[in-house]
């Protein structure tokens, strides 16, 4: 395996952001099982280009995200490919927890009383990270919720599946263009856990090889072949 | 859930036919009832809502799906904003379900979905972007063009997590109606899509109608 650029662990309820270069890999590990990692993607050169969940879903005829899928921007380009996934089903429809949801489910726990074990929520976490790049609530798109499975029945009813949690589950992303990543580890808004979840997420950033012509993500759907071609044109033409 | 309206078109205070490929941007005030009528059948009305008193508060598909626990929009659905506040309530629906997962077509996503040479074709996002450019007084731009509702489109999810673009449930004369819970700017792109069998490759007009509060 390539040399690790940076590794760390984060407890639930934290947030961070960083930019990665094309072909950087990000591996997330749900150490104990039951964590949630909410994530958003932006083009650092043009922040109005951002992750688009509807395009990602409809281009690949999928509701869940897993190995072989590509995550699309609103400009028809691929931010990253899911090159491996031992969890199997990640949500990108249910959004974030907010102050009201967290207080209703798990009660209020302020910073004053609980210090850094306060009940931080996902919406506020993203607002803080967005502001670091001059962005606001308007820039908050539908996010990915890694390690959270939400299924849908024939009548359209959604259900969070806690049994999908696996200790040690990993998902690995290969970035197909330079990307600003925003993420937080606040609980999924539909997590039925009786207490505010206290989980550990490990992340590893490392360099890896570029996608080859026979790459599994490129070939997983004809749509993705065209998405990779849009990336090729973008990189051949843009000056950065 | 299918439910017919008691309101007659003759008593509407506003009526307008929106051709395919055009946009319609209009304020519907709190308490007023707003209807979209599928004039010829299976026409997608890609729709966004903004708070007319603070246009940076907007319709949120995520909040709407999560709070009602269902991916379909139909009678009884409360359309929620990104601040998780009620914007409109669906009061009648003769179709049965509407999509809010699939988003709008765009020239860029058309290249991925259909073919790279499909770029130079009209798309909903171009209509949305022209709408915000021609209505600068609202202070909206590309960042505010988020995930919309596709009224009259049927996009079921399978138990295995697949997304299917099924045959439409709508037909000539079917409609969906909603009551505004706040003053809202409605922005519709009447979809010009020529590459998708969902509208039989034939984009057609829709009609919008508004009734006064208490009608």
Among candidates A133, A130, A123, A152, which has minimal Cα distance to A44? A133
For the range A206-209, what are the long-range contacts, defined as Cβ-Cβ under 8 Å and sequence gap of 24 or more?
Answer: A206/A1, A206/A2, A206/A3, A206/A4, A206/A5, A206/A24, A206/A25, A206/A27, A207/A2, A207/A3, A207/A5, A207/A23, A207/A24, A207/A25, A208/A2, A208/A23, A208/A24, A208/A25, A208/A174, A209/A23
B157 contacts A152? CB cut-off 8 A? yes
SS3 of residue B64 by DSSP: helix
On the question of pLDDT at B192 being above 80, the answer is: yes
The closest CB to that of A58, out of B69, B144, B163, belongs to B163
Domain residue extents for chain B: 19-211
A62 contacts chain B (CB < 8 A): yes
In a mutagenesis test of the A interface, which of B109, B115, B141, B189 is the best target, namely the one with the most A β-carbons within 10 Å? B109
B147 contacts chain A (CB < 8 A): yes
Among candidates B49, B74, B63, which has minimal Cα distance to B180? B49
**Nearest-CA residue of chain A relative to B74?**
A156
Token pair of B89, please?
Answer: 């309530």
Q: What residues 22-41 of chain A have any CB closer than 8 A to a CB of chain B? A: none
Query: How confident is the model at residue A238, as a pLDDT?
Result: 75
Query: How confident is the model at residue B168, as a pLDDT?
Result: 85
Domain residue extents for chain A: 4-237
B108 contacts chain A (CB < 8 A): yes
A63 contacts B163? CB cut-off 8 A? yes
Q: How large is the average pLDDT for residues B156-184?
A: 94
Q: What share of chain B is helix, strand, coil (3-state, %, to 5)?
A: 20, 35, 45
B102 contacts A54? CB cut-off 8 A? yes
- Which residues in chain A touch residue B159, judged by CB atoms under 8 angstroms apart? 151-154
| CA–CA dist B210, B215 (Å, integer) | 10
A207 contacts chain B (CB < 8 A): no
On the question of pLDDT at B165 being above 90, the answer is: no
Chunked mean pLDDT (size 10), chain A, 240 residues: 89 98 98 98 97 98 98 98 98 98 97 96 98 98 98 97 98 98 98 97 96 97 97 86
Check: pTM over 0.80? Answer yes or no. yes
pLDDT digits (tens, 9 = 90+) for B72-107: 999 999 999 999 999 999 999 999 999 999 999 999
First-last CA distance in chain A: 28
B101 contacts A57? CB cut-off 8 A? yes
Query: How confident is the model at residue B196, as a pLDDT?
Result: 85
In a mutagenesis test of the B interface, which of A40, A93, A222, A227 is the best target, namely the one with the most B β-carbons within 10 Å? A93
Distance from CA of B104 to the nearest CA of A (A): 8
Q: How confident is the model at residue B199 (pLDDT cuts 50, 70, 90)?
A: confident
Query: How confident is the model at residue B167, as a pLDDT?
Result: 83
On the question of pLDDT at B6 being above 90, the answer is: yes
A55 contacts B69? CB cut-off 8 A? no
């Amino acid at each position: 395996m390539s040399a690790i650029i940076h590794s760390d662990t984060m407890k639930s309820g934290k947030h961070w952001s960083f930019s990665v270069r094309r072909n950087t890999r990000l591996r997330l590990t749900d150490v104990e099982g039951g964590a949630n990692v909410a994530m958003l993607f932006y083009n650092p050169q043009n922040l109005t280009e951002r992750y688009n969940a509807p395009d990602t879903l409809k281009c690949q005829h999928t509701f869940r995200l897993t190995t072989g899928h590509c995550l699309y921007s609103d400009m028809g380009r691929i931010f990253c490919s899911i090159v491996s996934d031992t969890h199997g089903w990640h949500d990108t429809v249910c959004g974030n927890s907010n102050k009201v949801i967290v207080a209703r489910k798990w009660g209020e726990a302020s910073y004053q009383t609980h210090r850094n074990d306060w009940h931080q929520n996902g919406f506020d976490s993203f607002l803080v990270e967005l502001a670091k790049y001059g962005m606001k609530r308007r820039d908050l798109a539908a996010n990915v919720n890694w390690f959270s499975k939400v299924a849908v029945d024939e009548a359209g009813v959604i259900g969070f599946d806690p049994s999908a949690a696996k200790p040690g589950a990993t998902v690995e992303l290969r970035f197909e263009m330079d990307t600003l990543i925003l993420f937080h580890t606040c609980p999924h808004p539909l997590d039925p856990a009786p207490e505010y979840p206290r989980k550990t997420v490990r992340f590893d950033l490392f360099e890896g090889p570029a996608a080859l012509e026979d790459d599994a993500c490129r070939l997983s759907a004809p749509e993705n072949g065209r998405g990779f071609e849009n990336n090729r044109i973008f990189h051949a033409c843009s000056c950065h | 859930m299918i439910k017919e309206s008691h309101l007659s078109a003759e008593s509407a205070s506003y009526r307008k036919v929106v051709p395919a490929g055009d946009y319609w941007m209009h304020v519907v005030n709190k308490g007023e009832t707003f209807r979209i009528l599928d004039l010829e059948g299976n026409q997608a009305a890609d729709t966004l809502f903004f708070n007319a008193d603070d246009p940076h508060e907007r319709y949120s598909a995520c909040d709407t799906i999560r709070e009602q626990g269902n991916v379909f929009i139909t009678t009884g659905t409360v359309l929620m904003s990104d601040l998780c506040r009620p914007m409109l309530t669906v009061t009648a629906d003769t179709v049965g379900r509407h999509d809010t997962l699939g988003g709008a077509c765009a020239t860029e996503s058309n290249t991925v979905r259909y073919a790279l040479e499909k770029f130079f074709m009209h798309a909903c996002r171009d209509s949305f972007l022209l709408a915000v450019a021609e209505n600068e007084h609202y202070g909206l731009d590309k960042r505010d063009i988020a995930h919309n509702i596709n009224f009259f489109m049927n996009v079921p999810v399978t138990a295995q997590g697949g997304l299917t673009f099924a045959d439409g449930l709508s037909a000539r004369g079917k409609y969906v109606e909603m009551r505004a819970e706040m003053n809202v700017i409605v922005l519709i792109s009447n979809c010009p899509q020529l590459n998708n069998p969902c509208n039989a490759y034939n984009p057609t007009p829709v009609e919008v109608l508004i009734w006064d509060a208490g009608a």
